[in-house]
């Protein structure tokens, strides 16, 4: 199983980087991933944590892996909002602990913005925009790029969608911040364990949070 785990991680994230990471960057990464993990573990209906790692691979300094327990064919809005909160948990943890944010959240913000855009413009999950599918954010099924097609909405609607996308992300960020501030003891404990062990599995995360939260 260790060989399978290593092979999967290498394919998904790249080979382990041998470059030296200074202590401050390692600490930021530990709190960043601990933030993702604690939000994922705390909110209802999120996919279970499989592994949390601060070993640099490819372009990533760390990773929090979640694996669904069953196939999903529908994605309720509550599930997607919690998913957004998990994506933003790393950035929020940095802000709480270091009173600052870093470029480490770039891919998280990109994924969160893309998901929020689909929720608003394709899946009718904004009351202000309404039950419309406006084509924004659609990708070519083979090329993976946004389709070059005429806009099916006005500039006013584009502005409204922008506001609603931002609202979803800000709301999700607020949820993540509430979880992490109330669970600061668990956040610190997870980060300390990551700095010591570098990799935590689901049982480790459950045990650490269980000891930290009454």
Query: Tens digits of per-residue pLDDT, 83-118?
Result: 999 999 999 999 999 999 999 899 999 999 999 999
Q: Give residue 146's pLDDT.
A: 54
Among the listed residues 211, 213, 210, 202, the one whose alpha carbon sits nearest the alpha carbon of residue 5: 202
Among the listed residues 86, 110, 17, 29, the one whose alpha carbon sits nearest the alpha carbon of residue 63: 29
Instruction: Report how far residue 190's alpha carbon sits from residue 184's, in angstroms, rounded to the nearest whole number.
Output: 10
Give me 54's structure tokens. Answer: 């601060």
- Concatenating the DSSP letter of every residue in 113-176 gives HHHHHHHHHTS---TTT-S----TT-B-TTT-SB-----SS-HHHHHHHHHHHHHHHHHHHHHH
30-56 as b/e, with b when 16 or more CB fall inside 10 Å? bbbbbbbbbbbbbbeebbebebbbbbb
Give me the phi and psi of 18, to 5 degrees please.
-95, -5
Q: Give residue 141's pLDDT.
A: 52
Domains identified in the chain, total number:
1
Query: Tens digits of per-residue pLDDT, 45-61?
Result: 999 999 999 988 777 88
Which among 33, 94, 117, 177 is annotated as catalytic? 33
Q: Give residue 139's pLDDT.
A: 63
Active-site annotation holds for 173: no
Residue 175 has pLDDT above 60, yes or no: yes
Q: Residue with structure tokens 């999967």?
A: 8
The whole domain housing 34 covers 2-212
Angle at 100 between CA 98 and CA 106, to 5 degrees: 115
Give me 88's structure tokens. Answer: 């933003």
- The CATH number of the domain holding residue 106 is 1.20.58.760
Q: Per the confidence metrics, is the pTM higher than 0.85? A: yes
Q: Give residue 40's pLDDT.
A: 96
Instruction: Report how far residue 111's alpha carbon sits from residue 66's, in angstroms, rounded to the nearest whole number.
Output: 15
Instruction: Report how far residue 179's alpha carbon sits from residue 69's, in angstroms, rounded to the nearest whole number.
Output: 23
Instruction: Report how far residue 30's alpha carbon sits from residue 28's, in angstroms, rounded to the nearest whole number.
Output: 5
Instruction: Report how far residue 136's alpha carbon sits from residue 123's, in angstroms, rounded to the nearest whole number.
Output: 11
Q: What is the mean pLDDT of the chain?
A: 89
Residue 145 has pLDDT above 60, yes or no: no
């Amino acid at each position: 199983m260790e060989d399978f785990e290593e092979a999967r991680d290498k394919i998904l994230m790249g080979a382990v980087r041998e470059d030296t990471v200074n202590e401050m960057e390692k600490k930021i990464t530990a709190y960043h991933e601990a933030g993702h993990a604690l939000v994922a573990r705390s909110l209802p209906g999120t996919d279970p944590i499989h592994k949390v790692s601060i070993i640099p691979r490819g372009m990533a300094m760390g990773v929090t892996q979640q694996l669904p327990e069953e196939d999903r064919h529908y994605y309720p809005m509550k599930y997607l909002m919690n998913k957004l909160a998990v994506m933003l948990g790393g950035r929020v943890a940095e802000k709480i602990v270091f009173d600052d944010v870093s470029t480490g959240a770039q891919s998280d913000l990109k994924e969160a913005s893309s998901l929020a855009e689909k929720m608003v413009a394709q899946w009718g999950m904004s009351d202000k925009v309404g039950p419309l599918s406006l084509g924004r954010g659609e990708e070519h099924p083979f090329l993976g790029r946004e389709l070059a097609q005429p806009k099916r909405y006005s500039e006013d609607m584009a502005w409204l969608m922008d506001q609603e996308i931002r609202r979803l992300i800000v709301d999700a960020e607020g949820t993540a911040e509430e979880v992490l501030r109330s669970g600061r003891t668990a956040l610190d404990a997870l980060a300390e364990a990551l700095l010591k062990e570098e990799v935590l599995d689901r049982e480790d995360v459950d045990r650490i949070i269980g000891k930290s939260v009454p």
